[in-house]
Structure 1
Amino acid sequence: MAIVLFIVAGFLVGGVIQLVKAGASKFSVILVGVLAALATAGGVAWLLPGDGA
């Protein structure tokens, strides 16, 4: 699952770059950036050791 989250984060980061190049609104850039950060954080959290409860 962590791999999927990192792939999604990569696509979202690419989307942020393209939105900035296209001159999109700040709201859309920030929104996609936050989603990318959440996907990355989820991927990292999935890799952390835990009891699974």
Structure 2
Amino acid sequence: MGAALPTLLLILAGVLVGGTWSLYRQGAPKAAVLVTAALAVLATVAGVLRLLPENG
């Protein structure tokens, strides 16, 4: 699962970015758009950080 986790997180981030854009285009409440965008950012950061080599 270790090698697949960054890939899964980045796929999740892509789905969330698409969902955020869709919510925005449909005129969804601002809170829903912001929460979805925040989750997309968190998934992206987590995926990228999992790709970095460990120091230790």
Q: TM-score range by the shorter chain?
A: over 0.9
Determine what percentage of the aligned residue pairs are the same residue.
46
Whole-Å separation in 1 of the counterparts to 2:55 and 2:6: 17
Counterparts of residues 1-53 of structure 1 (less than 5 Å): 1-51=5-55
TM-score by length of 2: 0.88
TM-score by length of 1: 0.93
**Deviating runs (4+, > 3 A) in structure 1?**
none
Which ranges of structure 1 fall in alignment gaps of 5 or more residues?
none
Residue 12 of structure 1: how far off its partner (Å) = 0.1
Residue 29 of structure 1: how far off its partner (Å) = 0.2
